[in-house]
Amino acid sequence: MIGLMAIRGNIELANLNTYFLFPFSIDKITVVENHRDVWAKYTHWIDGLDEWIAEHRTEKNSGIAVHLGKRRRDPYARFDLESAAYQDMMFSHPYVRRVFFDIGDSLAIGEQKEALLRCYSIPIDGGRRLWIQAEDAKGRLATVEITDLRLFLFANGVGILSIGVEAQNVPASDALWINEAFRKVYPTSGRQVREGRIPSRMQLILEQDGNQSVPAQEEFKKGGDDRLPAAARAHDFLHDLLLGLLPAGV
């Protein structure tokens, strides 16, 4: 419906809020073998995640971690009627909550203790602001602010990088392009780049104390690296975000 309205008239969205979700997987066997000192203490793989992530800092490997700081466990903490946890979880059975909600150690009596999810975040505070900017071969350019940066890790080794973004006073046509283009992590061909069906450049912009820097950037001007398929590299900025949330060597 929004697409049809955008074609018929130049409407503008007062506020755009959306999330981009990027799934990946962790080789659990390799991680455990490389960190036997951590997992020797735990029965379940997921129970060792907090210690593994806390003890293996990656600030030197990630420009985001250098500027924004250390990731932290970010479970639900409040469960009263006004809390987001209550409003989100009340529709789910207890066994579903174990899969989709990280409630930390706040387990009700009688519920199973083996949780299946951990949530981690990098706070964007202290006057800092983080942006994603994308541009394509047709000259389309958009910048949105990252307002929420989270990593969800599941007991089966699957992870989801969640990037929440926001923009104000956005033309509907731009909003549609943002929702389509910002979730494309690599081109499938040079033609796709040339025709503007995927961004040819994406970058992270960090604003702090009135200054701006670019901690990570990726360009696909020719549709990929001649030495290595673009699909094998993905975006540098996604790699940098993951390094900021996960230990090095994953």
Question: What pLDDT, in 10s, does the model give residues 77-106?
Answer: 656 566 665 566 666 666 666 666 666 665
pLDDT at residue 16, rounded to an integer? 93
SS3 breakdown of the chain: % helix, strand, coil, rounded to 5?
30, 30, 40
pLDDT score for 213: 86
Q: Which residue has the tokens 């820097």?
A: 213
Instruction: Give pLDDT, residue 193.
Output: 84
Look up the pTM and report it: 0.76
CA–CA separation, 137 and 139 (whole Å)? 5
Low-confidence ranges of the chain (pLDDT < 50): 1, 4-5, 7-8, 108-110, 223-234
CB-based contacts of 11: which residues, under 8 Å, 6+ apart? 5, 171, 172
Predicted pLDDT at 10 = 74
Pairing of strands 211-219, 141-154: unpaired
| pLDDT given for residue 167 in this prediction | 94
Q: How far apart are CA 140 and CA 196, in angstroms?
A: 9
